[in-house]
């Protein structure tokens, strides 16, 4: 588990072309664009946090900065007292796109996270444990193309968990999944978090995912992005959006905050 501090994070980039985001709002080529504006946050050990915000506001950029993949910014990220200067093998990033190695079976992909383990019997036991954890027993020897999208996502989670990371970063992990598979994988992630108790930070554009999954939600404004809301969710699990009035009211508040009138 890890304690994360984000101090005064500002992210700028130089616009490469002329764009027009709204009437009267034209960006010129060569202009300095601010994506993140003085972000200050803390993430507690073992906490699951979901980051929400308008499209293009810099959610994924912030996640990459925290994970150490993007180092071109002002401010600092501190994890357990140490300043982050690069990505760490103890902090695993699950990207939007499928990251399984296509020529390797589910078993071999999961084994990558345990490749330094010398005891082969213990390694095999742990590989099977993580495959069972994501309910892929029976598919150990299938190649990624032989799996559904949801099964590929679960295999990727098993590989990430096999590393036993201190922090798991998830960037839009349900992208491309059909509705029912989305719900199933979402449930798996919640169960895994409760089982392993590690820090998880997830970027999502699905408000209901954040409300069902998170211990806390963070909402970013449109860019230049600042923290618009941070809210702890003191609701027991499993959570039912339609049966919990307080949760439903919070959903409606977030929709309005993001400029959308929610229709059930």
DSSP strand pairing (167-171 vs 199-203): parallel
Reduced to 3 states (helix: H, G, I; strand: E, B; else coil), residue 252 is helix
Tens of pLDDT, residue by residue, the chain (264 residues): 578 999 999 999 877 665 555 554 555 667 888 999 999 999 999 999 999 999 889 999 999 999 999 999 999 999 998 899 888 877 888 876 677 899 999 999 999 888 878 888 899 999 998 899 888 999 999 999 999 888 998 898 888 888 888 899 999 888 888 888 888 888 888 988 888 888 999 999 899 999 999 999 999 999 899 999 999 998 888 888 888 888 988 998 898 888 776 555
Continuous segment of H or E residues that includes residue 50 = strand 48-52
Continuous segment of H or E residues that includes residue 156 = helix 149-162
In a domain, 153, yes or no: no
Task: Give the Cα separation of 29 and 70 in Å (integer).
Answer: 22
In a domain, 103, yes or no: no
In a domain, 155, yes or no: no
In a domain, 131, yes or no: no
Greatest distance between any 2 Cα atoms in the chain: 65
Q: What is the pLDDT at residue 2?
A: 73
- Going through 71-210 in order, the beta strands assigned E by DSSP cover 74-79, 82-83, 91-94, 167-171, 199-203
In a domain, 151, yes or no: no
In a domain, 123, yes or no: no
Instruction: Name the residue range of residue 229's domain.
Output: 4-90+165-257
Task: Give the Cα separation of 191 and 210 in Å (integer).
Answer: 15
In a domain, 147, yes or no: no
In a domain, 175, yes or no: yes
CATH code of the domain in which 15 resides: 3.40.50.300
Summarised one tens digit per residue, pLDDT across range 123-173 is: 999 999 889 988 899 999 999 999 988 899 889 888 888 888 889 999 988
Reduced to 3 states (helix: H, G, I; strand: E, B; else coil), residue 96 is coil
Residues 6+ apart with CB under 8 A from 168: 91, 92, 94, 160, 161, 198, 199, 200, 201
Structural domains counted in the chain: 1
Q: What is the pLDDT at residue 184?
A: 85
């Amino acid at each position: 588990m890890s304690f994360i501090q984000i101090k005064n994070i500002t992210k700028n980039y130089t616009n490469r072309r002329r764009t027009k985001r709204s009437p009267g709002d034209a960006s010129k080529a060569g202009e300095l664009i601010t994506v993140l504006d003085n972000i200050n946050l803390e993430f507690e050990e073992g906490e699951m946090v979901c980051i929400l915000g308008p499209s293009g506001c810099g959610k994924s950029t912030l996640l990459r900065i925290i994970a150490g993949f993007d180092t071109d910014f002002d401010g600092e990220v501190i994890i357990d007292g140490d300043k982050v200067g690069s990505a760490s093998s103890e902090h695993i990033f699950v990207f939007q796109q499928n990251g399984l190695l296509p020529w390797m079976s589910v078993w071999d992909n999961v084994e990558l996270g345990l490749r330094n383990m010398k005891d082969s019997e213990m390694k095999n036991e742990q590989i099977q444990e993580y495959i069972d954890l994501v309910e892929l027993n029976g598919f150990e020897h299938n190649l990624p193309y032989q799996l559904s999208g949801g099964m590929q996502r679960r295999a990727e989670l098993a590989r990430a968990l096999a590393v036993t990371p201190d922090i798991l970063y998830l960037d839009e992990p349900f992208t491309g999944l059909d509705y029912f598979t989305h719900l199933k994988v979402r449930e798996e992630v919640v169960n895994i978090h409760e089982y392993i108790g590690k820090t998880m930070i997830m970027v999502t554009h699905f408000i209901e995912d954040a409300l069902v999954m998170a211990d806390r939600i963070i909402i970013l404004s449109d860019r230049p992005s600042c923290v618009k809301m941070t809210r702890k969710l003191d609701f027991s699990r499993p959570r039912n959006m339609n049966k919990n009035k307080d949760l439903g009211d919070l959903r409606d508040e977030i929709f309005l905050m993001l400029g959308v009138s929610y229709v059930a």
